């Protein structure tokens, strides 16, 4: 992904600066491009918890580098185990975090402590490279869906995609999952337009997805979260594509709160509802997503307050809920597999079912 012509990944290592780790402070976007320096595992954990860095694949990658930073301080087995444990508790829903930390522990555990620093950086870099290639392939496998819709349209008519939250390059190491086919379609000359759900309470759609699409030149329109059903009833949505934080063995999909309602509206209106995921998002150990996936509960303030830029350029947070009214903030929901038209993965597309996933991932089944 490029920002104003400069290529970036969402996480990288600064070797000249003591092998520190760099990320964008996503709580500042789209108002400021602030690059943060992570010097130890506590700073990595804070960045994940506070959502300075976020998105299922990206928190896995940052956590992996958190382990590498920790090994610089103390490469003992006890410290490795405790840092993996500590980072694993930063956010509960996205399984990519656990996947990346398990991979780090497996790579480092049976190794002499003296070798662990170099091996940890190498493994974290491999996780990042894997994510980049995976997301690029998700784009390739999702692109035909958009091309098929375009082929059915009158010449010059746009393909309307609706997406929820941010599943773009800011949520991964590069390219994104749900946005990857959209970027590829745009680059291939398809007339694609994206309805961007604002995604309350944290507004990842309005703040991040709209910004990313704008930087890539993809036509888009931000809509209030509740507009999706209306747009579908009026034929304004050809396809929904979302990302996910965890997909179960039977194809249930956890994603940002509000995704389930979009899937219900899509089903009622005959709009295809696709979910894009990398292999690291699959959790074959759980079957029933509603019963088994832990849903993160976040702070009330994310609901009761809003942050934005004033006309004179100041970033301000204001309260939007009556004083004294409590708020609840479940951050994710689960869309049952029966509402999912299909899954777009780096290995191809499949139905959201145990059979579909087993056929595509026999090694995981």
CB of 277 to ligand MRU, least distance (A): 8
Closer residue to ligand MRU in complex, CB, 160/163: 163
In 3-state terms, what secondary structure has residue 342?
strand
Closer residue to ligand MRU in complex, CB, 171/340: 171
The residue sitting closest to ligand MRU, measured at its beta carbon, is: 243
| Cβ(189)–Cβ(143) below 8 Å | no
Cβ-proximal residues to 301 (8 Å cutoff; 6+ apart), any chain: none
172 lines the binding site for ligand MRU (CB under 6 A): yes
CA 207-98-46 angle, to 5 degrees, is 50
213 lines the binding site for ligand MRU (CB under 6 A): no
CB of 218 to ligand MRU, least distance (A): 17
CB of 57 to ligand MRU, least distance (A): 6
Identify the helix (H) or strand (E) that includes residue 186: helix 179-187
The one catalytic residue among 245, 252, 283, 333: 245
142 lines the binding site for ligand MRU (CB under 6 A): no
In Å, how far are 89, 125, 146 from 84, measured between CA atoms?
9, 17, 40
The edge-to-edge listing of strands for the beta sheet with 20-24 is 11-14, 20-24, 35-38
Q: Which two tokens stand for residue 305?
A: 């307050």
| Cβ(23)–Cβ(62) below 8 Å | yes
Using CB under 6 A as the binding rule, the residues of this chain from 315 to 354 that contact ligand MRU are 331
Closer residue to ligand MRU in complex, CB, 74/302: 302
CB of 254 to ligand MRU, least distance (A): 8
| Region for residue 307 given its phi and psi (left: phi exceeds 0; alpha: psi -120 to 50; beta: otherwise) | beta
CB of 165 to ligand MRU, least distance (A): 4
204 lines the binding site for ligand MRU (CB under 6 A): yes
Closer residue to ligand MRU in complex, CB, 70/257: 257
CA 75-47-297 angle, to 5 degrees, is 115
Closer residue to ligand MRU in complex, CB, 212/245: 245
Residues interacting with ligand MRU, by CB under 6 A?
54-57, 94, 165, 167, 171-172, 177, 204, 243-245, 255-256, 331
């Amino acid at each position: 992904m490029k920002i104003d012509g400069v290529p970036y990944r969402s996480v990288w290592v600064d070797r000249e600066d003591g092998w520190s780790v760099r990320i964008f402070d996503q709580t500042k976007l789209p108002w400021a491009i602030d690059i943060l320096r992570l010097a130890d595992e506590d700073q990595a954990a804070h960045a994940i918890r506070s959502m300075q860095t976020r998105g299922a694949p990206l928190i896995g990658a940052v956590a992996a580098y958190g382990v590498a930073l920790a090994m610089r301080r103390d490469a003992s087995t006890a410290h490795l185990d405790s840092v993996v444990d500590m980072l694993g508790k930063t956010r509960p829903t996205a399984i990519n975090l656990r996947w990346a930390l398990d991979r780090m522990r497996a790579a480092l555990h049976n190794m002499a402590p003296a070798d662990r620093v170099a091996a940890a950086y190498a493994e974290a870099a491999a996780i990042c490279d894997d994510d980049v290639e995976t997301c690029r392939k998700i784009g390739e496998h999702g692109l035909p869906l958009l091309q098929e819709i375009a082929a059915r349209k009158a010449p010059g008519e746009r393909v309307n995609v609706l997406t929820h939250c941010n599943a773009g390059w800011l949520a991964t190491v590069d390219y994104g999952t749900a946005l990857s086919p959209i970027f590829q379609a745009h680059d291939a000359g398809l007339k694609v337009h994206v309805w961007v759900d604002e995604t309350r309470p944290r507004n990842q759609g309005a703040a991040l997805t709209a910004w990313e699409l704008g930087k890539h030149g993809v036509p888009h329109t931000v809509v209030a979260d509740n507009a999706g059903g209306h747009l579908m009833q009026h034929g304004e949505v050809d396809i929904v594509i979302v990302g996910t934080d965890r997909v179960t063995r039977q194809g249930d999909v956890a994603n940002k709160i509000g995704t389930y309602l979009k899937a219900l509206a899509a089903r009622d209106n005959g709009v295809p509802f696709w979910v894009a995921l990398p292999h690291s998002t699959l959790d074959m150990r759980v079957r029933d997503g509603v019963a088994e996936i832990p849903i993160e509960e976040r702070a009330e303030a994310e609901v009761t307050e809003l942050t934005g830029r004033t006309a004179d350029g100041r970033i301000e947070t204001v309260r939007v809920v009556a004083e004294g009214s409590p708020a609840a903030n479940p951050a994710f929901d689960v869309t049952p597999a029966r509402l999912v038209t299909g899954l777009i993965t780096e290995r191809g597309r499949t139905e959201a079912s145990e059979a579909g996933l087993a056929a595509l991932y026999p090694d995981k089944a």
